[in-house]
Amino acid sequence: MSDTLAASPLTRTVKRLIGVAASLLFTFIGLLFVTFIIARIVPIDPVLSILGDRATDAQIAAERLRLGLDEPLWKQFGIYVWQALQGDFGISIRTREPVIAEIARFFPATLELATLATIFGVALGVPAGVLAATKPGSWADQIVRLVGLMGYSMPVFWLGLMGLLLFYGVLGWVGGPGRLDAAYDMMFEFEVTQRSGMILIDTALAGRWDMFANAISHIILPAGLLGYLSMAYISRMTRSFMMNELGQEYITTARVKGMPERRVIWVHAMRNVMVPLITVVALSYASLLEGAVLTETIFGWPGLGSYITDALMANNMPAVMGGTIVVGMVYIGLNLLSDILYKLVDPRART
């Protein structure tokens, strides 16, 4: 009996892990199926994209055979899934390099920008939302709601252009487009070991603080812009979640017992607010990792969004599909991370 009782938690854990793994696998295959169908219905011939319009019939036939396009669709999809599971997203038509290698080069720039923007959004959005919820109808509440409304209403490209014009063109407080000045860009390429591909981390590890400061001057404006948009969303949702919690009976009971208001809000109410807020932050982070295309374009930021957009304009479908798969994997990974964090924050979710 004791062995059975001891083994049952392990059995439940194993079953749960198997269920999670199966769910992730089927979700990933579903993502591959969608991208595969899209690639087949778009009016772009991959063979002509590779060979050009002047290719002979023999060359076209040979290339179709090499790509496996003469096989039945179900077999093409099977090959596509098998290659994707091995990390093979095909060859870029433009550069003739593996798509996965190109994505690995562009993705760290987006990861760096999105991470810093999310930190800004959470650090400012959560306190602002809590302040607005605890003082409904006050001037603080009105300001938070107005700032959030402006973040939803103003076009991203306009904010980016105005930010560059004011802070870079007029005041000179920040660096211009790109991740580094031209001189530093060359030095980073040859003098700094690129461990992560993220300039702030690599220059800090190399002790190149002059280059680190230059990178900060370039990233602060686009990260601040995206952080503001993220803050507008996070503050609004935090306000909504917190107002709902502050109306619950357990909050009234805590106040009647004389518990300090700060503890009521930041310990008891925030503990329950954190559960849905994790999803909000994860989705906000995922949307930034997806690639803020307009922001990356305006600031000349060589990230994933710019890479997918340029590939689409060049009819480079392997690159578009590979980038789309990576974006989908980001959403899948962050959803899984959210589930894990739920269990850490809310003990009820563990059972």
Instruction: Tell me how far apart the alpha carbons of residues 279 and 130 are, in angstroms, rounded to a whole number.
Output: 17
Inter-residue contact 295 to 226 (CB < 8 Å): yes
- CATH homologous superfamily for the domain 102-350: MetI-like (1.10.3720.10)
What the block records as the tokens of 312 is: 């689409």
Q: Is the Cα dihedral 11, 14, 20, 22 positive or negative?
A: negative
pLDDT of residue 120: 92
CB 27 within 8 A of CB 332: yes
How far apart, in Å, are the Cα atoms of 5 and each of 8, 16, 348? 5, 17, 21
Where exactly are the structural domains of the chain?
2-85, 102-350
Contact residues for 123 (Cβ-Cβ < 8 A; gap 6+):
none
Cα–Cα distance, 232 to 126 (Å, whole number): 10
Walk along the chain (351 residues) and give the pLDDT tens digit of each residue.
Answer: 444 444 566 677 777 777 777 777 888 888 888 888 877 777 666 666 666 667 677 766 776 776 666 677 788 788 888 888 888 887 887 778 888 888 888 888 888 999 999 999 999 999 999 999 888 888 888 888 888 888 877 777 788 888 888 888 888 888 888 888 888 888 887 777 788 888 898 888 888 888 899 889 989 999 998 889 889 889 989 998 998 888 888 888 888 888 888 888 888 888 888 888 888 888 888 888 765 677 888 888 888 888 888 888 877 888 888 888 888 888 888 888 877 777 777 666 555
- Torsion angles phi and psi, residue 91, rounded to 5: -110, 135
Residue 185 CB burial class (10 angstroms; 0-12, 13-18, ≥19): middle
- Report pTM: 0.82
Q: Which residues neighbour 174 within 8 Å (Cβ) at sequence distance 6 or greater? A: 167, 168, 217, 218, 220, 221
Tokens of 344: 């850490």
State the pLDDT at residue 195: 82
Q: Dihedrals φ, ψ of 237, to 5°? A: -70, -40
Please give the pLDDT value at position 2. 47
SS (H, E, C) the chain: CHHHHHHHHHHHHHHHHHHHHHHHHHHHHHHHHHHHHHHHHCCCCHHHHHHCCCCCHHHHHHHHHHHCCCCCHHHHHHHHHHHHHCCCCCECCCCCCEHHHHHHHHHHHHHHHHHHHHHHHHHHHHHHHHHHHHCCCCHHHHHHHHHHHHHHHCCHHHHHHHHHHHHHHHCCCCCCCCCCCHHHHHHHHHHCCCCCCCHHHHHHHHCCHHHHHHHHHHHHHHHHHHHHHHHHHHHHHHHHHHHHHHCCHHHHHHHHCCCCHHHHHHHHHHHHHHHHHHHHHHHHHHHHHCCCHHHHHHCCCCCHHHHHHHHHHCCCHHHHHHHHHHHHHHHHHHHHHHHHHHHHHCHHHHC
Residue 127 confidence (pLDDT): 92
Give the contacts of 19 (CB within 8 A, at least 6 positions apart): none
- Closest to 67 measured CA to CA, from 259, 318, 235: 318
Instruction: Give the per-residue SS3 of 116-166.
Output: HHHHHHHHHHHHHHHHHHHCCCCHHHHHHHHHHHHHHHCCHHHHHHHHHHH
Tell me if 205 sits within 8 A of 192, measured CB to CB: no
Alpha-carbon Rg for the chain in angstroms: 25
